[in-house]
Amino acid sequence: MNVVSKIMAFLMLILSIVYCGTSVVLFTHRVDWRSKYEKVSADYKKESTDLKSKVAQLKDKIVSTNDALEAVKTSLENMTNDFKEKRDELSEANNRVTKLEAIVSSKDLKIDAKDRELSEKDQMVMDLRAKTDELKEITDTAKAERLEATTKRAEAEESLQVLKTELEKAEIKLADVTKQLEINKGIIAQLRENGIPVEEIAISGGPATPIRAQVLAVRADANLVMLSVGSQNEVKQGYRFTVYRDSEYLGKVEVEKIFPDMCSARILNDYTEKQIKEGDNASTRVY
Amino acid sequence: MLQQESIDQPIINKDSIYVWFMIIAVVATVIAITLNYLELTEFYLK
């Protein structure tokens, strides 16, 4: 064999082995391409029909969405118009709010002023309450005083009644006394006609002729004085002596006990103005 | 003549390997064609 035939034989061997290997691989990985084609074509047809139906539905949806879009556009226009109106209303409302805020601020100021006035009024009310409490206390005391006054008035009325009765009695006595006075006046007139000096006797309360004496001793704790005249000087019990110092009137004394040359006399406090001392003068009549 | 050559030369001739190459190539080709036929008959030549 020449070299060319040898090379050809070797190449045939290599190529046949390659062909055999590829054939083996293809046989081991054989596939039914027809059925697969049919299956794929059926799937394709099915998917194409589905897609067509979906496209139709999408077209319908697009139409409906277009309608809805138109409606949305119209509604949007309406909403824009409404929005403009609302914006205008909002601006008006803002203006109103600013006005109201100004009013509210003024009202707040007024409220603050009113609060101050209210606090002042509260203070005044507190003061008035304190005053009313004081007035209540005063009225209570006045009521108590009124009760006391009413009781005193009742007592005074009772005493008035007593005094009226006493006055009536006194008037009766006065009537008796006036009657007795008239009788005495008649008696005095008869005595005057008979020549008896009644007036001189009545003025001194003692004898017709005046008796002069001197204070010998004074006992102030017993209201007694000793005079320098007695029964020898015709002094009698009950005679009243007027005591004086120079021309100053001191008082009166009334004779109680009589001795021959002296007598004791009690100081009449109702008629005595100054203290009587030893050496003062006394007389039954003062000229 | 041929006998003489075969006697003179060793039993395994250097060129005989190429004959075996050819034989193996033919067998491999046959196997490959058979497999292709079987595949075709299985799916398309029914």
The answer to whether the CB atoms of A19 and B32 lie below 8 A apart is yes
* 8 Å CB contact between A276 and A250: yes
- Domains belonging to chain A, first-starting first, are 46-155 (no CATH), 207-283 (2.40.10.340)
Give the angle subtended at the CA of A77 by the CAs of A74 and A82, to the nearest 5°: 125
pTM: 0.29
For the ranges A167-176, A239-248, A262-271, B3-12, which has the lowest average pLDDT? B3-12
- Quick check: A197 pLDDT over 50? yes
The answer to whether the CB atoms of A6 and B33 lie below 8 A apart is no
Report if residue B27 sits inside a domain. yes
Domain that includes residue B21, residue range = 12-43
The arithmetic mean of pLDDT across residues A166-192, rounded, is: 88
Residue B42 has its nearest CB partner, among A13, A17, A30, at A30
CA distance A54 to chain B (A): 36
Segment A20-49, tens digit of pLDDT: 999 999 999 988 888 888 999 999 999 999
The chain-wide mean pLDDT, for chain A, equals: 89
Tell me, what's the pLDDT at B2? Answer: 47
DSSP state for residue A196 in the 8-state scheme: -
Q: Is B35 at the interface with chain A, CB within 8 A? A: yes
Report if residue B36 sits inside a domain. yes
* Neighbour count for residue B35 (Cβ, 10 Å): 20
Which residues pair with residue A241 across a beta bridge?
A: A253
Q: Is B21 at the interface with chain A, CB within 8 A? A: yes
The arithmetic mean of pLDDT across residues A235-242, rounded, is: 88
Question: Per mean pLDDT, which of A118-122, A188-192, A251-255 is the most reliable?
Answer: A118-122
Residue B35 has its nearest CB partner, among A6, A12, A24, at A24
